[in-house]
Structure formats: C-alpha cells, structure tokens
Structure 1
Amino acid sequence: MSGAPAVVLFDLDGVLAHYDHASRLRLLAERSGAGVEAVSRALFESGLERDADLGLHDAQGQVDEFARRLGRPVSLDDCIEARRASMRADADMLSLVRHVARQSQVAILTNNNLLLRDHLPAICPPLFPLFDGRVFCSAQFRLAKPDPAIFLQCLAAIDATPAQALFIDDKAENAEGARRAGLRAHHYTGVSALRAWLKECGIAGD
C-alpha cells in the first residue's frame, strides 16, 4: 500500500456516470414550454454552455442567460433537475472508487460549469459523500482539459504534485494532457482495464 498514489483524479461524465444528453434537453423543453430544438440552440449551439464551462457565468447567471436566449422563463431548479435526469452513476465504477479511496485521496476533475459543481450532490447523489469537498471543474480555473495547466491548478488546490497523482478520463486527448502535466494517466474504456492499470500504479487489488 505504501506505493499507492496520494491522489486519484476522475473525470465525471463517461467515467463515474453515464450522461444522456437527450433526457436533459427533453426535461428543459417540458419545464420551459419551448421545443427541444429551441432549447438546444439557446444552451448549446449558442455557445452558452461552453462559456459557462469556462467560468464566464456563475450558476444563476447561466440560468438567467439561458432564459434570455430561449425567451422563456427557466429556473435554477429546472436546470438542476434536467442535469439530474441526464446522469446515472456507474455502480461498478463507484465500487472501484470506494476501494481506491481506502488507499488514496479521490477527487473529480471535469470540464463543466459552476452550476454542476455547486449542485452535484443533488444532481448525482450516489457520488457523495465519497467526493465531498473534492469536486473541481474547468469553470473555477477558467481552463479546460486537455490544457496541462488545469491539472496543475487542480493538484495545487489539494496540495499534491503531478508525481503523486493519477488521472482517468474517457477522452484520450484529456489523458494525454494530464501526461504532459506530469501525471500518470489512463484512457478509460472500461472498469476491468482500469482496475488492472490501478494495480500497476500501486493500488492494491480487491
């Protein structure tokens, strides 16, 4: 166990949880009374979600700007519930993370906005208390993966160095960005391969 890394960083969507974009659009359409296409244009195609992921809006500011672009009333609760409807925690991954957490500190690093970070316990409750106080997002750093700088800033926030850390992401380019920052990284394709890689990195087996 002495060889275990100090910190293991996990991506969120596609690693810890399954994300269903269509469900999010449908619920926002139902809540606002707008069409699904209009919701997609206002939130995604307009660049609003990308801007929020880079920290240009706080949670309420993102909601207000979405409502303005959509031309319909939308509440913070609407947006939280839509994100909640789009996410399903991966039970097998959470079982593995609980095992990792007995040996190393675990944290989330996601390209996402402050709305998600601030309300993730309500959006995806099974992730907590496992990740309490250790959810980091691109918006707070105003940087996005795969930029190596975001990994360095995240690790600084938890008082760790790249040599002490592992990173797991379902996007190969993000794993490569972590490697450029000096972390050991894994391109996630499934739990079995990840379990084997973690063992190679010093995480004792189940």
Structure 2
Amino acid sequence: MGIDLVLFDLDDVLVDYSHEVRCRTLGERIGRDADAVRAALFESGLERQADLGRIDPEGVARVLSETLATPVTLGDCVAARAAAMTPRLALGDLIAALAARCRLAVLTNNGLMVRDHFATLCPPFAAHFAGAVHCSAMYGMTKPDPAVFAHCAEALGVAPSRVLFIDDKAANAGGAIRAGMSGHHYQGIAGLRSALAAHHLLENPSHGV
C-alpha cells in the first residue's frame, strides 16, 4: 500500500535542539541564570504539563514569571525556543522533493507554542508544514503511545496505513507501527533516503535528492 503522508518528528530530526541553549537564552532575556530557568521549566514538570496540553503557552509564561520572580513574556519563551533550534538545512532538498509527491506534517511531543509559532521557530521549513504541525498537547498524550498517532492521523484525515512516520527515537517509531503506520527510526539522511525510496517516494534516490 502506498504512502500519502510523511509525518516527521521535530527535534533532532528536522532541527537540532538544545535544552542548554534554550535555558541560557531565556535566562539572558529575563536576567536569571540558566540553572534557575532549567529548574523552573523542566525540573518542576512545567514543560511536561505543557506537552500534555494541561497548560497553554501564556500559562507557561505566567508560571515562569511567578516562579522566577520576574516578568516572562510569551515572546521571551518563543525567542528562547527559536534560539535552541537549528534547522537541518541539509534536509531542505529532500523535503522539497517529498512535498511534490505527498503530504507532509509534523508530530512532536511539545506544547502548543511550537504549533502556534512554527513559522518563527523554523522558518526554512515553515511553508512545507504550514497548518500541519501537530503537538502532543493537542491530544493530551505523548509519543510513543499509539493512541496519539491514531488521533493525529484522524485529525489529518488520512488512514494510518497510508502514513510513514519518522523519529529519532526508536520507541516512537515503534509506537507509530503499533498504530498501523509505517515507521522509520531516523539516524541520518542516508537511511532516511533509503526508507523513502523503499516507499517509492523519491524519483532518483541514488542521486542524493
């Protein structure tokens, strides 16, 4: 059966991502050290609550303001997230080639900020994924739970059997497979290209598209 949609993970697939850079950048913007930001955002469980959709982006900024005893805006949070993400431009041609042959979407374990501000966070790929960025927060559950893949496929209006999911974590690729999708454990462009070719999604896979 053919593939109608290629569903990408975000962090460490489409972009390199760094918690350290995110904490340092937010700290610099609000006058707090990175360790304090890390404790308030990650060690407290706040980011996890956002990933599960239990607090919205504005709420995250409010809680950080209270915890760190200094104003934190949504703009600060977006800027810090953007600084922590480096798009993998080497994937650009491959993504453009895919976009000409099938639908593309993102499924990431993240809060709604990533969905709502994707164009700011990842401008090189924004056009290819416009309106198709799905976050765990939308479904109240995270990968690798097979249910999140099923809900995402339903929201995208595509049968799971027609989806190829790509993630740098083998467990997440396995969750997609259990949901009825095809799954690829991303470990580099060469392996991804081979997987796409196996699904007849590249015209000339041997020519480095």
What is the TM-score normalised by the length of structure 2? 0.95
Amino acid at match of 2:72: V
> Shift of the alpha carbon at 1:4?
4.4
Match of 1:73, SS state, is coil
Quick check: 1:4–1:203 contact (8 Å CA) kept in 2? no
CA distance in 1, matches of 2:110, 2:54: 12
Deviates more, 1:143-152 or 1:122-131: 122-131
CA distance in 1, matches of 2:33, 2:179: 43
Quick check: 1:84–1:123 contact (8 Å CA) kept in 2? yes
Structure 1 runs of 4+ with >3 Å offset:
none
Instruction: Indicate yes or no: 2:64 matched with 1:66.
Output: yes
Match of 1:85 in 2: 83
Unpaired runs of 5+ in structure 2? 205-209
CA distance in 2, matches of 1:35, 1:158: 41
Quick check: 1:13–1:19 contact (8 Å CA) kept in 2? yes
5 Å matches for 1:106-121?
106-121=104-119
Question: Percent of aligned pairs with the same residue?
Answer: 46
Instruction: Indicate yes or no: 2:146 matched with 1:141.
Output: no
Match of 2:107, SS state, is strand
Match of 2:5 in 1: 7
Unpaired runs of 5+ in structure 1? none
CA distance in 2, matches of 1:70, 1:167: 38
Amino acid at match of 1:38: A
Match of 2:207 in 1: none
Amino acid at match of 2:161: A
5 Å matches for 1:159-178?
159-178=157-176
CA distance in 2, matches of 1:60, 1:93: 32
5 Å matches for 1:1-206?
4-206=2-204
The higher relative CO (CA closer than 8 Å, separation ≥ 6) is in 1
Match of 1:15, SS state, is coil
